[in-house]
Amino acid sequence: MKTKKLTISLISVLLFSATGFAQIPILKDYNSPVPKVVTPARVTPDGGIPAPSDAISLFNGTDLSEWTGSKGAPEWAVHDGMFTTVEKTGDLNSKREFGDFQLHIEWMHPADITGEGQMRGNSGIFLHGLYEIQVLETFNNNNKTYVNGQAGAIYKQHSPLVNPLRPPGEWNSYDIIFSAPTFNADGTYRTNPRVTVLLNGILIQNNAVIYGATRTETVVEKTRGGLQLQDHGCKVSYRNIWVREL
């Protein structure tokens, strides 16, 4: 059909005349190697680990004043010194932006969690709003899903080295050290973003090379950015979120 051909033709032109979009490999899910389960010691006192004196706290236990919602004011539920996703109210974005940083953040799934695979407690922490450290209920590898989509993965890029998750109803903590990318003049990476992650005190990402943003196939030229907490339609709670810019 003529119309169809023309459309395809136009798309081709668009594709081949593009100039500014350095691209990244396609991210895919895979199923091995399966991270070993590790049982961490009880690493945090009750109440978790609040901010040290030089950190910026992104949650004071009582309001979401450091955040905006992707659909307007943030509507997640603040209660008991934590806040919890409210389905379909959208992602939260931190008002502040950072370059290189150390991030501490704690998260918990409800003890009576249901769902399977990527619909079991799915959320995520997007560094610079771009690079997702996965949040999912995958305690003890019981919830079968692709290994680079389980908790602690740099989503679809790097599985966690091991799986030191706590069970639903208990708090998990991430300590994340993020090195921002640098860029060449043509928009490609001069140096890729890098990330080191400890989950419950156990190293799960070791200065890993991030190939690119989680939700786009083009390189995004940003040297500073905020945090985004994902509403994936699942229940998960957060507390003790603080950032030390490096």
Residue 88: CB minimum distance to a copy of itself, A = 31
- Give residue for tokens 């950032």: 243
Cβ proximity to a copy of itself, 37 vs 77, nearer residue: 37
Q: Is 49 in the site for a copy of itself (CB under 8 A)?
A: yes
DSSP string, 97-139: -BSSEEEEEEEE--TT----GGGSS-EEEEETTTEEEEE---G
Three-state DSSP state, 191: strand
Nearest-angstrom CA–CA distance, 34 and 26: 21
Cβ proximity to a copy of itself, 70 vs 184, nearer residue: 184
Token pair in block for residue 147: 């290994």
Site for a copy of itself in 143-182 (CB under 8 A): 144, 148, 157-159, 161-162, 164, 175, 177, 179, 182
Cβ proximity to a copy of itself, 40 vs 110, nearer residue: 40
Q: Is 60 in the site for a copy of itself (CB under 8 A)?
A: no
Count of residues that interact with a copy of itself, criterion CB under 8 A: 74
Q: Exactly one of 3, 53, 88, 111 binds a copy of itself (CB under 8 A); which one?
A: 53
Q: Is 104 in the site for a copy of itself (CB under 8 A)?
A: yes
Q: Is 36 in the site for a copy of itself (CB under 8 A)?
A: yes
Residue 235: CB minimum distance to a copy of itself, A = 26
Cβ proximity to a copy of itself, 30 vs 63, nearer residue: 30
Q: Which of 107, 75, 102 is nearest to 91 (CA)?
A: 75
Q: Is 100 in the site for a copy of itself (CB under 8 A)?
A: yes
Nearest-angstrom CA–CA distance, 15 and 242: 42
Q: Exactly one of 83, 126, 131, 211 binds a copy of itself (CB under 8 A); which one?
A: 211
Q: Is 198 in the site for a copy of itself (CB under 8 A)?
A: yes
End-to-end CA distance of the chain: 58
Cβ proximity to a copy of itself, 25 vs 72, nearer residue: 25
Residue 231: CB minimum distance to a copy of itself, A = 26
| Contact range with a copy of itself by CB under 8 A, out of 51-59, 73-81, 115-123, 129-137 | 51-59
Nearest-angstrom CA–CA distance, 211 and 47: 35
> How many CB atoms are closer than 10 A to CB 152?
28
Q: What dihedral angle (degrees, nearest 10) is formed by the CA atoms of 123, 240, 36, 136? A: -10
> How many CB atoms are closer than 10 A to CB 197?
25
DSSP letter, residue 58: S
Residue 116: CB minimum distance to a copy of itself, A = 12
